[in-house]
Amino acid sequence: MKKKKIKTKIKTTKSLEKMAKKGFRGYPIATVACYGPDDQLATKVAVGIVTGENDESINMKKWYTKTTDIRRDIDVNLEILEFIKEQGAKSVVITDSIMGCPHEEGKDYPDGAVCPKCPFWANKNRFTGETIH
C-alpha cells in the first residue's frame, strides 16, 4: 500500500508541475500560491481562477494544514487538480516559493501590523525573500 501512495504523491505533484510548464494556453488561468510561517514550510495553498486579462480572481479556494507541508499532501493535491479541472482552467501558474505568512491581514491580525504568529516574515519581502530595513 505504501508504494501506491508514493506513486500517487509523485503523480499528483508532477501533474500540477506539468500543467504549469505548458505555459499560457488561454483563459481561465488557475493561480496556485503557497504560504507558511517561514520560507521552508507551506501550511496554506490558495488557488484562484482568473477569467480574463484584466479580471480579478472570480473563484478562490484555500487549503490548510497545521504542521505538515501542504505541498506534499496527496489529498490536497488531488483536490487542487479537481478544482482546477472543475473551473475549466486552460493555463496554470504556480509560485516557485512560499509567498509569505498564511494569516490574512485585517482578518487574522490588524491591518498594518506584523503577524504575531509568523515573526519570520516581519522584515522580509515576500516576493524576493530579502530583508527589508
pLDDT digits (tens, 9 = 90+) for 57-92: 689 999 999 889 999 898 999 999 999 999 999 999
Q: Is residue 94 part of a domain?
A: yes
Q: What is the pLDDT of residue 21?
A: 87
For residue 12, which of 95, 76, 64 has the smallest C-alpha distance?
76
In a domain, 13, yes or no: yes
pLDDT tens-digit map of 91-111? 999 988 899 999 999 999 999
Q: Which domain holds residue 42?
A: 2-101
C-alpha cell at 116: 504575531
Q: Please report, for the domain that includes residue 7, its CATH number.
A: 3.30.420
At residue 55 the predicted structure's pLDDT band, cuts being 50, 70 and 90, is confident
Does any domain span residue 129?
no
Residue 128 placed within a domain: no
> Which amino acid, one-letter code, is at 107?
K
Give the type of residue at 111. Answer: D
Strand pairing report for 57-64 and 29-35:
unpaired
Q: Is residue 126 part of a domain?
A: no
Residue 1 has pLDDT above 50, yes or no: no
| Number of domains into which the chain is organized | 1
Q: Which tens digits make up the pLDDT trace of 19-49?
A: 888 888 999 999 999 999 999 999 999 999 9
With CA atoms as reference, report the closest residue to 95 among 51, 32, 4. 32
Q: What is the pTM of this model?
A: 0.83
